[in-house]
Amino acid sequence: MQLVFILEQVLNGLLVGAYYLLIALGLSLIFALGGVVNLAHGGFYAIGAYLAVILADRIGFAGALVASPLAVGLIGIAIERLLFRRFYRSDPILSLLLTFGLAMIIEQALRIVFGAAPLPFSIPSELRGQIFIGDFIYSRYRLVILGVAVAAVTATWFIVYRTAFGRVVRAGVQNPDVVGALGISLAPYMTAIAALGVGLAGLAGVLLAPIAGVHPAMGAEILTAAFVVVVIGGLGSFWGVIAASVLVGVVRGITIYFNPSWGEASMYLLMALVLLVRPRGLFGERIQRFE
Amino acid sequence: MRDEHAPLLLAALALALLPFALDVAGLPLRSAIDVVVFAIACMGLNVLLGHTGLVSFGHGAWFGLSAYAAALSQRYWFPEAIVLPFLFAIVFVAAGALLSGALILRRRGVYFSLLTLALTALLFTIGYRWTELTGGESGLGGVTRSSVLGLDLDSDRVYYWAVAAIGMAICYFLWRFHRSPAGSVLVAIRENEERARFLGYPTNRYKLIGFVLSASVVAIAGALSVFNHRFASAEPLAVAFSGELVAMVVIGGMRSFLGPALGALFFILFREFLSIWTPHWLFYFGLLFVGFIVFSPTGLVGVAGRVLAPFRKHTIEAAAMAGRRIAENAKLPQIYRRDAASEAPVLLARGLIKRFGGIHAVDGIDFMVKDRTLHALIGPNGAGKTTAFNLLSGLFPPDAGQIELAGRSIAGLKPEDITTAGVGRSFQITNLFGGLSAKENLRLAVQARSAKRFAMWATAEGVDDINKETTELVAFVGLTGMERAEAASLSYGGQRLLDMGLAIATRPRILLLDEPLAGLAAAERTRIASLLSIIATEIPVLLVEHDIDRVFQIADHVTVMNDGKVLIDGTVEDARNDAKVREVYIGSGAAALAAKPRVSAAGTTPILVVDRVDTFYGKSHILNSVSLDVREHEILALLGRNGAGKSTLLKTVIGIAPPAAGAIRLQGEDTAGFASAEIARRGIGYVPQGRGLFAGMSVADNLALGRLKRMTGAGIHWSDERIASYFPRLTDRWYAPADYLSGGEQQMLAVARALAGDVRVLLLDEPFEGLSPAVTEELFEAFDRLRYDVAIIIVDHHLDLALALSDRTVVLERGSVTWTGPSHALRDDLALRRKVLWM
């Protein structure tokens, strides 16, 4: 019986890890290519959730699951073209401040449009209920989240590591000057990566809206957790971010099993531990200029 | 004197007028107190943000923590008291900042910012959830303000003046701090932390001082605030509040002493007046904040500066070398001299090894430097000289080997410890505190050796012995008359002198100078060479320099390196007469490759014309009115010493370093100012120095990237088959990752990738670097055949190879063309070669 509970917490941890991953992966992609740490990333997650609330009434949850991340991606394109682009080659401090301001604006804009109170949004009826495997009982919707998140991360991996588009992106991360000297202009790729990264955040917003609640400050909440993940895993590292997400999620899940009130704090303690033992993150940091 | 104190007078005046001004505007006294409280917090935050260049998104934590500490300690330990809870809160926060700062400062740059954010998020969770202690959502009320020394602080009016007095005291304290030695080091860290470490400053300790000080000042604000509102809550711990603090500082002006206080005033006014009209004033504040970041990162102070600029007198500091006075018969200042020479070697290196990836940059070198000698370390590009310097000075630890300084092992120590132990170094790529004056650069360097370097109350510029030493040093290196010019605005030569001065100022037991003569005019080279001789009579100098003739004139001992190994270690005569040295350095003139006559394929029509091009890196003028042309099927060699501008010229042609003036015509079309992708698509292939291959990607992937956007018809089409006919070895390794190839294969891939697509001009930057003779020959023959397909510009330090391969040669010297002519003239006439190539 004990084991089943622990297993459930591990699974919960994986689930938490999966949505941290959706946020952290987008953060990491945008950072690796352009050098912008997008502190407004949580804001896009919140927009995704709010759009899901609006869209689900009209086109159903499945429709919202597709449409909302796309819409968030479009906003990402606009922001990249108008703002991020100016800061790729400047002092990283300025882009930090810029995106911080952007996060502030998004949160306030959500308050203006939707009010400060949380919006009601529940799990779509067809996905409610539990799944039983022997002694093991688990929420159907949570499994769906896990499945969609894993699919999204796999798709991202495929795009980055198995397509011509991804080849240019990886080359651009390594040496943008040489990519330019081969006749390839990186600007459209940067826009696309911003749209992809922000879209992943939007997707996380839709998935989490029914269980985490929809409120203006939701972006800031998840963003700090995503930062813990990237500090542990390294901003520029695909596998580092995945490993750190799973680690943080599982540690948190297990801690909650033994002492629920320490759940939140456990990931910060984990981060402090990693900082003490491996100050450059689990896998080391490869991108020197941001150190 | 009045100018220096102007910020203090302004602050006092503002504090005196504030309550009356706000009263006129219809705001209560409590708002005036808020302004002062936030101004204190912002000035505290700016110790990190503006002065040290560290962005903390978590300073609300100290504000909130202090508020809780004051409220709780008053409730449980010091009922009715105000001074004790106030002091307790500050001490509590200072201790907390010391502990967390020691942890957070282990990461730098953006990670530091993320960690501060995580810290405040963690504290917010605790503050919000730990309801028994903090009251959670409802907060902690019942904070009282009792009388102190007969002052009835319970009255808002009296409390305002108390807060204003504290604010003024903090203002004075910070004003002193920023002018103190410790404060000046924080600015040095902002400008160039690496160089600060190489002056001997343990920068982490200074950053921790800045962090704790900054947090403590914010804590004072937090405690004052809790007594103002008589209420503590988790609200200041929320990330939003930390963000507001940062926004206030930025909007006010982070590079100005009082700017942050102005930002605080602006914030309160904005909040009070806009919140009358709309509950969403924070939205507009956010917009304004982003607007400032995009359009005026220097904030309101910066805007005011620009508005007032036309009405101000301008004093432009002469940055030209012309404005200076050079002392005749310079003598090394007394402080750097030693009474007696030691017999034992000062520096001893044994078996040093350093690998980068698979490349042995330094591959087991041994040598020693005796006291009071000028010891030259020479060798061709890529020999490992600068890497050796970096190992000796601690930029990175050696993979293996011993380094002893006067008998003490220093291998693997941190740069600041090695500097303190007595190794002073200059850098090949000038490494200064760019935004500070030349004098301040040197003063910081001298201060690093002063007992007062940690002082927080003294005036940095008022320490007599530091000033005296600085002045002597300015005169010694020959920068008198231009002390006040900003380091970044100095000419390249001026920056080289300053860099050397910084190294001397560390009072080294041994001086490591990396190309101190590069980029200096002829007369200046002579002067600096004699300075080096003077220095070496007191301090041993280890010198890396490319001007061989000069080195042979002044050196006492020569170590020649090649391919990471010591080739010869002996006297100047030993090095001069050694056949191996001649071969790697000056060229043998008889290599088999060079002997075989090459047939030129050059046509008469220019395909690429570079016309009076100027290129800058920042303020450094790298190319100066360079003109040359390349004809169809011609191979043009671009020669010159390190730093002459050869690589930059190639980068200018391909558009990575766009020219500031002049034209670059590719078959008649001017491409100057085009993006590099545009230029590449017009048929230019570029092989960068170090190859620039994409690690983790296969040969096929690398070639596919080359071809992706260059199937343009501009030049000959390079299919995989055509490429394979030149580099058959690549077909065997088609699916191997580029980083797993041998050096020769990597270079072939780099050339193949530059060709893949449609190309008519090929730019090669050091294609033979680090290759074995056999591979060199293979590549050489490939280039020899390539001339029938494309025009080539080649930069290489293997003179014999470059001269044998090329039709014509252009020689660059300090960014200008000094010689153009047929390559065979230089190839056959060694006297001419020595003359035009300074070798």
SS3 per-residue string spanning chain A: CHHHHHHHHHHHHHHHHHHHHHHHHHHHHHHHHHCCCCCCHHHHHHHHHHHHHHHHHHHHHHHHHHHHHHHHHHHHHHHHHHCHHHHCCCCHHHHHHHHHHHHHHHHHHHHHHHCCCCECCCCCHHHCCEEEECCEEEEHHHHHHHHHHHHHHHHHHHHHHHCHHHHHHHHHHHCHHHHHHCCCCCHHHHHHHHHHHHHHHHHHHHHHHHHHCECCCHHHHHHHHHHHHHHHHCCCCHHHHHHHHHHHHHHHHHHHHHCHHHHHHHHHHHHHHHHHHCCCCCCCCCCHHHC
- Whole-number pLDDT of residue B478: 85
Are A236 and A170 in contact, with CB atoms under 8 Å apart?
no
Q: Determine the residue of chain A that is closest to B750 in CA distance.
A: A178
B287 touches chain A (CB under 8 A): yes
Q: How large a percentage of chain A has pLDDT more than 90?
A: 38
The answer to whether B680 contacts A86, with C-beta atoms less than 8 Å apart, is: no
Tens of pLDDT, residue by residue over B729-742, are 899 889 988 888 88
Consecutive H or E run containing B316 = none
- Whole-number pLDDT of residue B792: 96
Query: What number is the average pLDDT over the span A79-88?
Result: 90
ipTM above 0.90, yes or no: no
Tens of pLDDT, residue by residue over A204-234, are 999 998 888 899 988 888 888 888 888 888 7
- Whole-number pLDDT of residue B381: 67
Report the distance separating Cα B57 and Cα B240, nearest Å: 9
Rounded to a whole number of angstroms, the distance from the CA of A50 to the nearest CA of chain B is 18
B61 touches chain A (CB under 8 A): no
Q: Which two tokens stand for residue B396?
A: 């990175």
Tens of pLDDT, residue by residue over B216-243, are 999 999 999 999 998 888 889 988 899 8
The answer to whether B709 contacts A164, with C-beta atoms less than 8 Å apart, is: no
Query: What number is the average pLDDT over the span A131-158?
Result: 86
Report the distance separating Cα B698 and Cα B694, nearest Å: 8
- Whole-number pLDDT of residue B1: 42
Q: What's the pLDDT band for A284 if we cut at 50, 70, 90?
A: low
- Whole-number pLDDT of residue A252: 85
| Range in B19-23, B54-58, B624-628, B768-772 with the lowest mean pLDDT | B768-772
Chain A residues with beta carbon closer than 8 angstroms to that of B243: 100, 103-104
Q: Which two tokens stand for residue B802?
A: 């470059």
- Whole-number pLDDT of residue A141: 87
Q: What's the pLDDT band for B602 if we cut at 50, 70, 90?
A: confident
Tens of pLDDT, residue by residue over B412-445, are 899 999 999 999 999 877 789 988 999 999 999 9
Q: Determine the residue of chain B that is closest to A187 in CA distance.
A: B677
Q: Determine the residue of chain B that is closest to A170 in CA distance.
A: B694
Query: What number is the average pLDDT over the span A238-262?
Result: 85
Q: Which of B45, B532, B584 is CA-nearest to residue B267? A: B45
Report the distance separating Cα B229 and Cα B34, nearest Å: 9
Are B700 and B735 in contact, with CB atoms under 8 Å apart?
yes
The answer to whether A227 contacts B118, with C-beta atoms less than 8 Å apart, is: yes
> Which member of B122, B686, B697 has the closest CB to residue A170?
B697
Quick check: A290 pLDDT over 50?
Answer: no
Q: Determine the residue of chain A that is closest to B754 in CA distance.
A: A182
Report the distance separating Cα B260 and Cα B43, nearest Å: 6
Task: For residue B404, list its beta bridge partners.
Answer: B348, B409
Establish, for the pair of chains A and B, how many residue pairs have beta carbons separated by less than 8 Å: 180
Q: What's the pLDDT band for A278 if we cut at 50, 70, 90?
A: confident
Report the distance separating Cα A181 and Cα B417, nearest Å: 42
Q: What's the pLDDT band for B619 if we cut at 50, 70, 90?
A: low
Q: What's the pLDDT band for A288 if we cut at 50, 70, 90?
A: very low
| For testing contact with chain B, the best of A90, A99, A104, A237 (most B CBs within 10 A) | A104
Q: What's the pLDDT band for A90 if we cut at 50, 70, 90?
A: confident
Chain A residues with beta carbon closer than 8 angstroms to that of B686: 178, 181
Q: Which position has the higher pLDDT, A136 or B174?
A: B174
Q: Which position has the higher pLDDT, B831 or B18?
A: B18
Quick check: A285 pLDDT over 60?
Answer: no
Q: Which two tokens stand for residue B403?
A: 């380094």
Among residues 36-55 of chain B, which lie with CB inside 8 Å of chain A? 53, 55
- Whole-number pLDDT of residue B442: 93
Q: Determine the residue of chain B that is closest to A289 in CA distance.
A: B109
Report the distance separating Cα B69 and Cα B77, nearest Å: 11
Chain B residues with beta carbon closer than 8 angstroms to that of A261: 129
- Whole-number pLDDT of residue B318: 46
- Whole-number pLDDT of residue B593: 67
The answer to whether A98 contacts B239, with C-beta atoms less than 8 Å apart, is: no
The answer to whether B289 contacts A104, with C-beta atoms less than 8 Å apart, is: yes
> Which member of A104, A185, A268 has the closest CB to residue B282?
A104
Q: Which two tokens stand for residue B638?
A: 């671009």
Rounded to a whole number of angstroms, the distance from the CA of B333 to the nearest CA of chain A is 38
- Whole-number pLDDT of residue B379: 82
Q: Which of A170, A44, A103 is CA-nearest to residue B113? A: A103
B5 touches chain A (CB under 8 A): no
B106 touches chain A (CB under 8 A): yes
* Phi-psi map region of B667: left, alpha, beta (phi>0 left; psi -120 to 50 alpha): left
Q: Which position has the higher pLDDT, B1 or B827?
A: B827
Mean confidence (pLDDT) of chain B: 87
The answer to whether A290 contacts B676, with C-beta atoms less than 8 Å apart, is: no
B253 touches chain A (CB under 8 A): no
Among residues 773-832 of chain B, which lie with CB inside 8 Å of chain A? none
The answer to whether B701 contacts A108, with C-beta atoms less than 8 Å apart, is: no
Q: What's the pLDDT band for B798 if we cut at 50, 70, 90?
A: confident
Quick check: B388 pLDDT over 60?
Answer: yes
Report the distance separating Cα B692 and Cα A174, nearest Å: 9
- Whole-number pLDDT of residue B577: 84
Tens of pLDDT, residue by residue over B556-577, are 999 998 888 898 898 888 888 8
Quick check: B276 pLDDT over 80?
Answer: yes
Tens of pLDDT, residue by residue over B314-349, are 555 444 555 667 766 677 888 888 777 788 889 999
- Whole-number pLDDT of residue B610: 95
- Whole-number pLDDT of residue A16: 84
Chain A residues with beta carbon closer than 8 angstroms to that of B110: 37, 92, 96, 235, 290
Q: How large a percentage of chain B has pLDDT more than 70?
A: 94
H-only helix segments in B143-180: 156-179
- Whole-number pLDDT of residue B186: 94
Quick check: B502 pLDDT over 80?
Answer: yes
Consecutive H or E run containing B153 = none
Task: For residue B367, list its beta bridge partners.
Answer: B349
> Which member of B53, B283, B694 has the closest CB to residue A174?
B694
Query: What number is the average pLDDT over the span A68-91?
Result: 91
- Whole-number pLDDT of residue A166: 92
Mean confidence (pLDDT) of chain A: 86
Quick check: B725 pLDDT over 70?
Answer: yes
Are A47 and A67 in contact, with CB atoms under 8 Å apart?
no
Quick check: B287 pLDDT over 50?
Answer: yes
Q: What's the pLDDT band for B590 if we cut at 50, 70, 90?
A: very low
B126 touches chain A (CB under 8 A): yes
> Which member of A37, A108, A228 has the closest CB to residue B286?
A108
Consecutive H or E run containing B560 = strand B557-562
Residue type at B482? M
Query: What number is the average pLDDT over the span B254-275?
Result: 91
B755 touches chain A (CB under 8 A): no
- Whole-number pLDDT of residue B524: 77
B114 touches chain A (CB under 8 A): yes
> Which member of A37, A220, A268 has the closest CB to residue B110?
A37
